[in-house]
Amino acid sequence: MDISKPQILILVTSDPRSGHRPSEAVRIAAGVGAWKKADVRIYLRGPAILAAGEWVDELVGEDDFTRYLPIAVNAESPVLAQEGASELAGLGESPVPIRAIDDAELARLCGRATYILRF
């Protein structure tokens, strides 16, 4: 991460099986990140982790996950996910890199973030 740029942390906790908020978060992350004027990180917690899975065809806004999630993340800035979440086990072959982090690391990221958006 470039510390001279604003740091944006997008926290996604809502369930993509029942609402559009996770897909909107991914779309926003891809759009803002494309400008290269801010470093954008996506953190998925609980059922939101399903958005990074191999099978997203039954999620609300499935097209946003397949189209925009790969744009929003990369090997240097993977999707961050809740360590120990049961949803991690059922992801299959994720199309994007994922790094599980504990709550202490999430707190550090929040402390360094210029902006935090929660979906």
Q: CB-based contacts of 50: which residues, under 8 Å, 6+ apart?
A: 15, 16, 17, 56, 59, 87, 90, 91
Say yes or no: domain 7-118 is CATH 3.40.190.10: no
Instruction: Flag whether pLDDT at 3 surpasses 70.
Output: no
Q: In degrees to the nearest 10, what's the CA dihedral of 75, 79, 84, 90?
A: -90
Res 1: pLDDT: 55
Calpha distance 107→119 (Å, rounded): 17
Tokens at 43, concatenated = 């953190």
Q: Residue 44 pLDDT > 80, yes or no?
A: yes
Q: Which amino acid is at 74?
A: N
pTM (predicted TM-score): 0.94
pLDDT of residue 90: 87
User: CA 84 to CA 46: how far, in whole Å?
Assistant: 10
The residue-averaged pLDDT of 71-98 equals 93
- Is the pLDDT score of 6 beyond 70? yes
89-114 pLDDT, tens digit each: 989 999 999 999 999 999 999 999 99
- Domain limits, the chain: 7-118
What pLDDT does residue 2 have?
A: 60
